[in-house]
Amino acid sequence: MSNGEIIIDHEQEKKELLTRYKKLIKALGPAIKSKQDQERVHKAFEVAVDAHKEMRRKSGEPYIYHPIAVAQICAEEIGLGVTSVICGLLHDTVEDTSLTLEDIQSMFGGDVTKIIDGLTKISGVFDQTSSIQAENFRKIILTLSDDVRVILIKLADRLHNMRTLDHMKRDKQLKIANETLFLYAPLAHRLGLYRIKTELEDLSLKYTQPEIYEDIINRLKKSEDVRKRFISSFNNPIKKRLTEQGFTFEIKGRTKSLYSIYNKMVNKGIPFDEIYDIFAIRIIIESEGENERSDCWRVYSLVTDLYRPKPDRLRDWISFPRGNGYESLHTTVMSPSGKWVEVQIRTRRMDDIAEKGYAAHWKYKEKGSESNVDEWIRKVREILENQEENAVDLVESFKLDLTTDEIFLFTPKGELKTLPNGSTALDFAYDIHSKLGDTCIGAKVNNRLVPISYKLNSGDQVEIITSSKQTPKEDWLKVVKTTKAREKIKGSLKEEKRKVAEDGKEIFERKLRHLGYNYTEADITKILKYFRVNTSQDFFYKVATGGITNHEIKQFYKDESSKSWYSYLTTKLRRKSPDKKQDKTSLEDLIKETKRDGDTLIIGEDDVKLDYKLSTCCNPIPGDEVFGFVTIGDGIKIHKTTCPNAMQLMSNYAYRIVKARWTNRESLAFLAGIKVNGFDEVGIVNRITKIISNQLKVNMRSISFDTSDGLFEGQIMVYVQDTHHLDDLMYKLRQVPGVITVIRMN
């Protein structure tokens, strides 16, 4: 450093660039099939270096290191080829430098240009600085079927950004990490990129829950030597049996991901030490063609001969591969020391697809065949091209399709179908064909007659029953689970409404002729206000269905003849029903006012100018890391950064997020919830309440205890000063004899 300036060693940076380039070429390896391929990659490298030569990242390092890292991930971790690596190197050039698409076209041709164009179009949504804007979401996902490499390169881009997130400000880290959990990780999962999905989740946990992240890492480090010895002794008998049977194999030990461990701790309310399947082993065998499936089952038989399996933990994704092409046998077995161990069994091909997802799927795909991934992408395009759903609802419903477990179903002819868990007979009908769904009146499931709302189970054989008189109903939207079925029903209802509205328009015009009136566009505007409907289609639909009678139409024209009455009526209606534009403006004004009032909202100050409330969904208290969310009617709602709703709010409404922190004032009381579990002993409740009220002088708002089979579960709402006060209380409660767990409720 000199006078606050960074001294840059240009020679060292040139050497580093050369090292990184050589590493990239090595990662591409067999994908470079000719001298021309190598020349194109080298040219893309030189163009990217020149275009970004004046740019630096937040860390101070040259910006070009980022596109090289993205290209490296594409080649090494996803298994993409030369074209994708070129696009990885150039992915930011059109948006951030003077290069144009025309320049890319002239230098690298059509394929590269098409992908760079796709990357540039969605850069405002998928980048490290701006939030996912739900209204652009459909456009992003539609690129899946144009060229899936656009999304794969963007996932590589996000992965590198997550790996280098340390240099961003705290509020940016939170927003980016929540976006990643909300959409990127599920998308990576759906495309079969399990390793990338796991790393995205773990890195997100690092920034959303840093203390828990460090705690889990430290606990895993402490138990690492014990774990290695255990896995070695567990594996040795398996290795011996596999060798005796002539298998060529590899066995890998795998620790459960940090995010999976965290999820189990939160969802099941159990401490780290009680998570039984914290590690797993993966057996990868060399087998090809028609022998793959039978060889995997032979290995399963050898393993379960050695160790007793847990009956309800067998997962057969060989007979029924997941929608993203994932194939593997999973079982959980009991070790001699009494610990449960998950065992995964797969072939080298299956492992390649599990690690590299869509890219590996293409490597093994037979010519002309369609995989589950292709079918899913086709369905996605079909849904999104026709959808008119609220953009935020679309993100939610699509994310549900990304993350929900699948069930396997059969048609009457034995054809296999996959649907999200919880799907109904009506979902199945729409999955086969929209006409079948529109006319569905019920189904036969395993030869038993069931209603359209019947929830299907894996393995069911389903025959759809139809009637030509049946049409979609509004309440069907409550029956279906899948986005495809929901959008098809909405489309059918809208088309039906349009036809009815056309009849209504004829009825209306006929009535006006009878009354001797003509109507203009200005009249329609007044009519919509008078009858409180949003569109002319809504008005004509009500006319056709009797919602607006001839008498009411006649009355409108009588009222219209009196301008003073009309003026009074429209003013009254305007007061009652402000239009959406006015709502939007008031929200924008509120956000501007909030952000103009200061960079950070200080919670607990007497002279605070802005109206805020503590959110009841997570009950934040001093010491919790928090943020503010601007609402229309309730001022600013204060949420914990770990609130169950934080991920969605930060991903879809980033422009309404304001920074917030607690004041240093003490003596304020905040409501917090504690859940206590333990053995139902005489006097246990008395001992707990004495600790709270007598020893710590904490006020309780409510307390409830339920007992079952010798165990109790209690929920206590208490007033505390801050997180330290709450932690002290929880520590004291854990010391009470008979208490097993004490956790904070959201």
State how far the Cα of 133 lies from the Cα of 124, in Å rounded to an integer: 8
Identify the CA nearest to 297 among candidates 316, 273, 271: 316
Classify 196 as helix, strand or coil.
Answer: helix
Strands, sheet with 462-466, edge to edge from the N-terminal-most edge strand? 448-450, 440-445, 462-466
- The mean pLDDT of the chain is 81
State how far the Cα of 164 lies from the Cα of 207, in Å rounded to an integer: 12
State how far the Cα of 444 lies from the Cα of 461, in Å rounded to an integer: 8
State how far the Cα of 575 lies from the Cα of 567, in Å rounded to an integer: 12
Residue 571, pLDDT score:
46
Token reading at 93: 């050039």
Number of helices (H), then strands (E), in the chain: 30, 19
Domain with CATH 3.30.460.10 in the chain: 217-364
Domain with CATH 3.30.70.260 in the chain: 670-745
Residue 80, pLDDT score:
86
Residue 385, pLDDT score:
55
Host H or E run for residue 346: strand 340-347
CA 514 to chain centre: 57
**CA distances to 26, 59, 138, 352, 616 from 29, in Å:** 5, 31, 36, 16, 55
State how far the Cα of 610 lies from the Cα of 456, in Å rounded to an integer: 51
State how far the Cα of 543 lies from the Cα of 559, in Å rounded to an integer: 19
State how far the Cα of 40 lies from the Cα of 401, in Å rounded to an integer: 39
User: For residues 301 and 331, is the Cβ–Cβ distance under 8 A?
Assistant: no
CATH of 670-745, one of 3.30.70.260, 3.30.200.20, 3.40.190.10, 3.30.70.20: 3.30.70.260
Host H or E run for residue 678: strand 670-679
Strand partners for 629:
637, 657
**Residues 109, 111, 113, 115: what is their CA dihedral angle, to the nearest 10 degrees?**
-160
Catalytic residue from among 13, 96, 111, 503: 96
Token reading at 732: 């004291």
Classify 716 as helix, strand or coil.
Answer: strand
Token reading at 441: 């009146």
Token reading at 175: 């927003």
Token reading at 637: 């709602």
Identify the CA nearest to 713 among candidates 672, 745, 690: 745
The dotted CATH code for 217-364 is: 3.30.460.10
Token reading at 35: 């001298």
Residue 322 burial class via C-beta count within 10 angstroms: exposed 0-12, middle 13-18, buried 19 and up: buried
pLDDT tens across 547-603, in order?
Answer: 888 778 777 777 765 544 444 444 444 444 444 444 444 556 666 655 555 566 777
Q: Was domain 10-216 assigned CATH 3.90.226.10? A: no
Catalytic (active site) residue 666: no
Residues listed for the chain: 746
User: For residues 130 and 124, is the Cβ–Cβ distance under 8 A?
Assistant: yes
CB atoms within 10 A of CB 340: 17
pLDDT tens across 150-202, in order?
Answer: 888 989 999 999 999 998 888 889 888 988 888 788 888 877 788 899 999 99
Q: Which residues of the chain have pLDDT under 70?
A: 1-7, 122-146, 276-277, 358-404, 519-522, 560-600, 604-611, 633, 664-668
Catalytic (active site) residue 96: yes
**Residues 216, 221, 223, 229: what is their CA dihedral angle, to the nearest 10 degrees?**
140
State how far the Cα of 644 lies from the Cα of 729, in Å rounded to an integer: 24
Token reading at 473: 């109903």
Identify the CA nearest to 44 among candidates 71, 65, 10: 71
Where would I find the H helices in 122-148? 137-146
pLDDT tens across 419-435, in order?
Answer: 888 899 999 999 999 89
Residue 428, pLDDT score:
95
Catalytic residue from among 95, 103, 316, 559: 95
Q: Which contacts of 501-506 are long-range, i.e. CB under 8 A and separated by 24 or more positions? A: 501/537, 501/538, 501/540, 501/541, 501/544, 502/540, 503/544, 504/539, 504/540, 504/541, 504/542, 504/543, 504/544, 504/545, 505/540, 505/543
State how far the Cα of 64 lies from the Cα of 57, in Å rounded to an integer: 9
Pairing of strands 440-445, 462-466: antiparallel
Identify the CA nearest to 201 among candidates 358, 193, 625, 326: 193
State how far the Cα of 688 lies from the Cα of 691, in Å rounded to an integer: 5
Identify the CA nearest to 480 among candidates 467, 493, 469: 493
pLDDT tens across 451-486, in order?
Answer: 999 999 888 899 999 998 888 988 898 899 888 888
Q: Which residue has the tokens 């091209």?
A: 385
Identify the CA nearest to 409 among candidates 459, 355, 351: 459
User: For residues 343 and 281, is the Cβ–Cβ distance under 8 A?
Assistant: yes
Residue 594, pLDDT score:
58
DSSP 183: I
**CA distances to 169, 299, 684, 685, 734 from 681, in Å:** 50, 48, 6, 9, 15
pLDDT tens across 27-81, in order?
Answer: 988 888 889 999 999 999 999 999 998 888 887 888 999 999 999 999 998 888 8
Domain with CATH 1.10.3210.10 in the chain: 10-216
Classify 284 as helix, strand or coil.
Answer: strand
- Predicted TM-score (pTM) of this structure: 0.69
- Kindly give, in sequence order, each residue whose CB lies less than 8 Å from that of residue 595, ignoring residues fewer than 6 positions away: 658
State how far the Cα of 156 lies from the Cα of 153, in Å rounded to an integer: 5
Host H or E run for residue 227: helix 224-244
**CA neighbours closer than 13 Å in the CB half-sphere of residue 664:** 0
CB atoms within 10 A of CB 346: 25
User: For residues 133 and 142, is the Cβ–Cβ distance under 8 A?
Assistant: no
User: For residues 54 and 8, is the Cβ–Cβ distance under 8 A?
Assistant: no
State how far the Cα of 118 lies from the Cα of 94, in Å rounded to an integer: 11
Strands, sheet with 340-347, edge to edge from the N-terminal-most edge strand? 249-255, 279-285, 340-347, 329-334, 315-316
Classify 410 as helix, strand or coil.
Answer: strand
State how far the Cα of 613 lies from the Cα of 190, in Å rounded to an integer: 38
State how far the Cα of 67 lies from the Cα of 91, in Å rounded to an integer: 7
